[in-house]
């Protein structure tokens, strides 16, 4: 990011010009910043250790163009639904680099995944072993599987995005009476290749304690499985969850802060227990795309309530960024067209949806705001576009990929016709 002639530039592009050219609301993704995160992962993890892989969690930001960047990097892809899988198929993402997660995969989704030949399916429920074995047998295929376990660690994050605790809809609890019969079945199933265990402890973590505690639990489990079933697992997946910087109060730890001590534990365990080193996979989503993305909105109505608050309204809001309303998430922002002006007032940036929680940023310092100014929100690259909705029949914004001064549209703005394209008036109402 830099400032030229009073305008904010993002990856070499004038954001005010982008707003004019593509309209607002607009998501702007910097290819250089995404690639910088890839580069950090390469040095901190991929090139540093043997048998490690990165599977980008596409839920954070899944578009055809993004998947091309992931493929170019040689990374795998984590998908959790037919829609995410279909996006991967349409992007020609190599099947042998796709992992399929999800706590309630339908028969149709599993069939689509197995037909496409996805690399791994992460089993997340007690019915799935039988189901996958049955589908794989019918298709005469072998499917590589891992079990997502709930490692019972408490992650220091918003409870809505904490997933590693026992009382969770995700994963299989490490209760011997629940987990081991499933493991035994998977080991014996003729069409399953049981590889090992997966966990994901939570999201937006700035502290590695939960990850490290879960690694210990997964390694203990590997040892127990070897003793109990005479079976050596060959892969562990430690999920994602690495936090990013939304405001100056947040810390973004380097990937190595998480991956180095996790790998140390794995390597020490292998040596101590004479255990062959398993493959280790991580599934970062947010940490790859969040800080690469910004959102641009145009300021419309301004409402001053003397001695109370000044509301400045934007032409989007919770429909393109649900995170403040859903998780009380905080964001930072500025006026893209007054980027060199000193701040002079405190305002609350509110959205356009009919919902009082539709407040994007409360009490933010900005230069004097006028209708027509362009408000930029930072760190919206993850879980912004991917969680966008059509509430109030607002249209899902366009997404632009910027790279060293060049801007390309990668998602078109929804049209009003598209907003109602699936609706049907039955004959009885005509």
CB of 276 to ligand LLP, least distance (A): 25
Show contacts with ligand LLP in window 174-203 (CB under 6 A): 200, 203
Contact status: 369 vs ligand LLP (CB under 6 A): no
Residue 30 or 298 having the CB closest to ligand LLP: 30
Closer to ligand LLP at the Cβ: 14 or 78? 78
Q: Identify residues 55-84 at the interface with ligand LLP (CB under 6 A).
A: 57, 60, 78
Hey, which residues between 279 and 298 contact ligand LLP (CB under 6 A)? 283-287
Least distance in angstroms from the C-beta of 294 to ligand LLP: 16
Number of residues that bind ligand LLP (CB under 6 A): 20
Minimum distance from CB of 327 to ligand LLP (Å)? 6
Whole-number Å distance between alpha carbons of 225 and 259: 24
Q: Assess whether 13 carries a catalytic annotation.
A: no
Does residue 171 interact with ligand LLP by CB under 6 A?
no
Nearest CB to ligand LLP, comparing residues 204 and 259: 204
Which listed residue (15, 58, 165, 204) binds ligand LLP by CB under 6 A? 204
- Given candidates 323, 347, 373, 380, which one binds ligand LLP under the rule CB under 6 A? 323
Q: How far is the CB of 38 from ligand LLP (least distance, A)?
A: 14
The region of 172-180, 253-261, 278-286, 372-380 touching ligand LLP under the rule CB under 6 A is: 278-286
Among 25, 196, 241, 317, binds ligand LLP (CB under 6 A): 241
Contact between 337 and ligand LLP by CB under 6 A: the answer reads: no
Query: Which of the residues 395 through 424 are near ligand LLP (CB under 6 A)?
Result: none
Residue 101 in contact with ligand LLP, rule: CB under 6 A: yes
Are the C-beta atoms of residues 164 and 202 closer than 8 Å to each other?
yes
Residue 11 and residue 340 in contact, taking contact as beta carbons nearer than 8 Å: no
Whether the CB-CB separation of 211 and 200 falls below 8 Å is answered with no
C-beta nearest to ligand LLP: residue: 240
Q: Which is nearer to ligand LLP, 7 or 211 (CB)?
A: 211
Please list, in sequence order, all residues whose beta carbon lies within 8 angstroms of the beta carbon of residue 306, skipping any fewer than 6 positions away.
Answer: none
CB-based contact 323:356 (threshold 8 Å): no
Per-residue x/- marks for ligand LLP, 378-397, CB under 6 A?
-----x--------------
For 31, phi then psi, to 5°, come to -65, -40
Q: 354, 416, 427, 429: which is the annotated catalytic residue?
A: 354
Q: CB under 6 A: which stretch of 237-245, 312-320, 366-374, 396-404 binds ligand LLP? A: 237-245
Residues that bind ligand LLP (CB under 6 A): 57, 60, 78, 101, 161, 200, 203-204, 239-242, 283-287, 323, 327, 383
Q: Hey, which residues are catalytic here?
A: 354
């Amino acid at each position: 990011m830099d400032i030229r002639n009073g305008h904010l530039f993002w990856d070499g592009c004038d954001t005010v010009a982008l707003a004019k050219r593509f309209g607002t609301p607009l998501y702007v993704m910097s290819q250089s910043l995404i690639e910088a995160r890839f580069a950090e992962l390469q040095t901190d993890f991929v090139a540093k250790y043997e048998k490690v892989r990165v599977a980008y969690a596409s839920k954070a930001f899944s578009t055809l163009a993004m998947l091309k960047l992931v493929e170019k990097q040689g990374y795998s892809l984590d998908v959790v639904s037919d829609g995410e899988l279909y996006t991967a198929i349409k992007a020609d993402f190599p099947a042998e680099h796709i992992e399929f997660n999800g706590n309630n995969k339908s028969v149709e989704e599993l069939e689509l995944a197995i037909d496409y030949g996805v690399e791994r399916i992460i089993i997340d429920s007690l019915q799935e072993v039988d189901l996958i074995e049955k589908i794989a047998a019918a298709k005469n295929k072998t499917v590589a599987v891992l079990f997502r376990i709930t490692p019972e660690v408490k992650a220091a994050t918003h409870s809505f995005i904490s997933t590693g605790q026992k009382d969770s809809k995700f994963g299989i609890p490490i209760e011997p009476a629940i987990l081991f019969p499933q493991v035994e079945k998977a080991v014996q199933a003729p069409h399953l290749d049981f590889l090992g265990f997966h966990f994901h402890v939570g999201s937006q973590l700035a502290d590695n304690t939960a990850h490290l505690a879960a690694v210990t639990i997964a390694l203990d489990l590997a040892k127990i499985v070897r003793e109990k079933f005479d079976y050596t697992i060959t892969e562990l997946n430690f999920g994602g969850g690495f936090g990013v910087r939304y405001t100056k109060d947040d810390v973004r730890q380097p990937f190595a802060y998480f991956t180095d001590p996790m790998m140390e534990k794995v390597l020490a365990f292998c040596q101590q227990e004479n255990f062959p080193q398993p493959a280790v996979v991580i599934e970062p989503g947010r940490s790859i795309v969040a800080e690469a993305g910004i959102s641009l909105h145009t300021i419309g109505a301004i409402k001053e309530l003397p001695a109370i608050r000044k509301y400045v309204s934007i032409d989007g809001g919770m429909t393109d960024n649900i995170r403040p309303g859903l998780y009380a998430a905080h964001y930072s922002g500025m006026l893209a067209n007054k980027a060199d002006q000193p701040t002079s007032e405190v305002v609350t940036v509110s959205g356009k949806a009919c919902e009082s929680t539709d407040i994007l940023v409360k009490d933010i310092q900005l230069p004097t705001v006028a209708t027509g100014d362009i408000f930029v929100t930072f760190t919206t690259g993850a879980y912004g576009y991917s969680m966008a909705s059509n509430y109030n029949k607002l249209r899902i914004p366009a997404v632009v990929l910027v790279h060293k001064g060049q801007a390309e549209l990668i998602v078109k703005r929804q049209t009003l016709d598209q907003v109602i394209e699936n609706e049907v008036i039955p004959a009885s109402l005509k």
